[in-house]
Amino acid sequence: MRVVVGISGASGAILGIRLLEELQKNDVETHLIISSIAKDIIEYETDYSVQDVENIASYVHDENDLNAIVNSGSFKFDASVIIPCSMKTLSAITNGYGDNVISRVGDVTLKERRQLIIVPRETPLRTVHLENMTQLSGEGAIILPAMPGFYHKPQTLDDQINFIVGKILDIMDIDNNLFTKWKQ
């Protein structure tokens, strides 16, 4: 399996990092793009360095390298995940404005009818944010907001992070035990 992961400039970079760690554990080839703002956020919000995060990925692409292989529809990948997804990146993907590698990958994923998972991390939301999400959903993207569940009785922040990442892995059909599934 091959997955493209974009970490854009929104709070919650740890979600993208944890996803990369889980994909690595599952021997998934990953292609990582980190925006310049996300690099600052990684340093501010986590104990990881940008280099630590890049070392988790199979391949790393510069956000401004529009010649990067992941920008081509002929480059075969199974899914792309934008995690976290800033409202700027969401808008760019929605409107086909591929001005950097993350938004271009989102565009390519949709046009090639591949699996695009968007993890918006913003609150509260404006109407235009909701409209952009609705439009992307209508084109086949999966909108998975970073909204934690509570039925698994989380005890730590890691439990909440794992819940979101586990949901993403479930969508990609990757077995995981990151959270207790709903039981009756």
Segment 4-42, tens digit of pLDDT: 999 999 999 999 999 999 999 999 999 999 999 999 999
Residue 177 lies in a domain: no
pLDDT at position 184: 61
> How far does the chain reach from its first CA to its final CA, in angstroms?
33
Residue 179 lies in a domain: no
Residue 88 lies in a domain: yes
CA-closest candidate to residue 8, choices 140, 127, 156, 122: 122
Instruction: Give how many domains the chain has, as a whole number.
Output: 1
**Phi–psi pair at 58, nearest 5 degrees:** -70, -40
DSSP 75: S
Query: Domain span at residue 59?
Result: 2-171
Tell me the C-alpha distance between 68 and 75, whole Å: 10
Kindly report the CATH number assigned to the domain that includes residue 15.
3.40.50.1950
Segment 104-157, tens digit of pLDDT: 999 999 999 999 999 999 999 999 999 999 999 999 999 999 998 898 899 999
* Band of residue 181 on the pLDDT scale cut at 50, 70, 90: confident
Segment 87-109, tens digit of pLDDT: 999 999 999 999 999 999 999 99
- C-beta atoms surrounding 163 within 10 Å: 20
Residue 178 lies in a domain: no
Secondary structure of 127-162 as H, E, C letters:
HHHHHHHHHHHHCCCEECCCCCCCCCCCCCHHHHHH
Residue 180 lies in a domain: no
Segment 40-75, tens digit of pLDDT: 999 999 999 999 999 999 999 999 999 999 999 999
Tell me the C-alpha distance between 83 and 7, whole Å: 5
Residue 47 lies in a domain: yes
